[in-house]
């Protein structure tokens, strides 16, 4: 049995990935969808021709990865694609974001992504693909999104190294690094702790980002920058010193 595992499938990018996989990947027998909101996951069935297995898990809770591992061991599928889209951010200075939310971001965006990847890898083989949903914020330190950007830099570095390690096994790992996406719950959630950013010019859509990310993964790319802004951002991050990048961000942020 060939399956896809998608975390963060109850909304935004994760949900869009499920829809596009169900439409485009004719070889999938099941898609396993993971998030906390069971009703949202169940509702996805109406949009998918591929059977869904709903796993309502809080990935930051102790034992969540064990639950996934036990389900995989019981079904013994081939995981042909894993998409780690579960993640969240908080905007604001260090006080506004606070200790608990900072720790929660690290647990979900870093620890849970690594644990889910570790759990799925033994079930993957030649031709399998992993998409770690990072962010363009991985390309520079970002004041007022400091912990979030650092979690995505972690995931980006992890993905790049894993891509290298798994190449001999024929498994592709793609670090997906989108710029702002306007039609997901990410921005309203992130703005709950503060609004240091007022405008999101040239923001993309979940449909475009998911389509481009899947295309890049099929073409075995280590990094996907699904859109012009994140592509330029990646180049700038390689050429300019971090202080210059932060000064530019400060100017844009104040617009």
Ligand X SMILES: NC(=O)c1ccc[n+]([C@@H]2O[C@H](COP(=O)([O-])OP(=O)(O)OC[C@H]3O[C@@H](n4cnc5c(N)ncnc54)[C@H](OP(=O)(O)O)[C@@H]3O)[C@@H](O)[C@H]2O)c1
Q: Which residues of the chain form contacts with ligand X (CB under 6 A)?
A: 8-14, 35-37, 40, 58-60, 85-89, 108, 133, 135, 178, 180-181, 184-187, 189
77 or 89: CB nearest ligand X: 89
Task: Give the tokens for residue 192.
Answer: 């709950």
13 or 79: CB nearest ligand X: 13
Separation CA 81–CA 33 (nearest Å):
12
Q: Least distance in Å: CB of 219 to ligand X?
A: 21
CA neighbor of 107 nearest in space, from 159, 147, 163: 147
- Collect all residues with Cβ–Cβ distance below 8 Å to 100 and sequence separation of at least 6: none
201 or 241: CB nearest ligand X: 201
Separation CA 108–CA 53 (nearest Å):
21
Q: Least distance in Å: CB of 148 to ligand X?
A: 7
Q: Least distance in Å: CB of 26 to ligand X?
A: 25
- Would you give the DSSP letter of residue 204? B
Residue 92 gets the label, from left (phi > 0), alpha (psi -120 to 50) or beta, of left
Task: Give the tokens for residue 23.
Answer: 């439409």
2 or 208: CB nearest ligand X: 208
* Residue corresponding to tokens 């591992």: 69
Separation CA 178–CA 212 (nearest Å):
10
50 or 105: CB nearest ligand X: 105
DSSP 148-159: HHHHHHHHHHHH
Q: Least distance in Å: CB of 208 to ligand X?
A: 12
CA neighbor of 163 nearest in space, from 152, 155, 171, 154: 171
Q: Least distance in Å: CB of 159 to ligand X?
A: 12
2 or 36: CB nearest ligand X: 36
Q: Least distance in Å: CB of 2 to ligand X?
A: 23
């Amino acid at each position: 049995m060939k399956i896809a595992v998608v975390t963060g499938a109850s909304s935004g990018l994760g949900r869009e990935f499920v829809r596009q996989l169900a439409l485009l990947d004719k070889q999938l027998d099941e898609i396993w969808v993971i998030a906390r909101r069971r009703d949202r996951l169940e509702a996805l069935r109406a949009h998918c021709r591929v059977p869904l297995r709903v796993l309502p898990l809080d990935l930051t809770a102790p034992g969540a990865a064990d639950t996934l591992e036990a389900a995989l061991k019981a079904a013994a599928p081939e995981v042909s694609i894993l998409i780690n889209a579960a993640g969240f951010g908080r905007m604001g200075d260090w006080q506004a974001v606070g200790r608990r939310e900072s720790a929660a971001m690290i647990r979900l965006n870093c620890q849970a992504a690594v644990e889910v990847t570790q759990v799925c890898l033994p079930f993957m083989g030649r031709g399998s693909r992993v998409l770690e949903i990072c962010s363009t914020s991985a390309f520079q330190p970002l004041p007022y999104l400091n912990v979030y950007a650092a979690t995505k830099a972690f995931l980006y570095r992890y993905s790049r190294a894993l891509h290298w390690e798994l190449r001999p096994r024929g498994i592709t790992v793609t670090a997906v690094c989108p710029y702002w996406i306007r039609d997901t719950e990410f921005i309203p959630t992130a703005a709950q702790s503060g609004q240091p950013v007022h405008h999101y010019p040239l923001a993309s859509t979940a449909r475009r980002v998911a389509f481009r990310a899947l295309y890049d993964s099929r073409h075995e790319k280590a990094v996907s920058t699904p859109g012009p802004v994140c592509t330029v951002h990646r180049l700038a991050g390689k050429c300019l010193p971090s202080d210059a990048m932060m000064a530019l961000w400060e100017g844009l942020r104040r617009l």
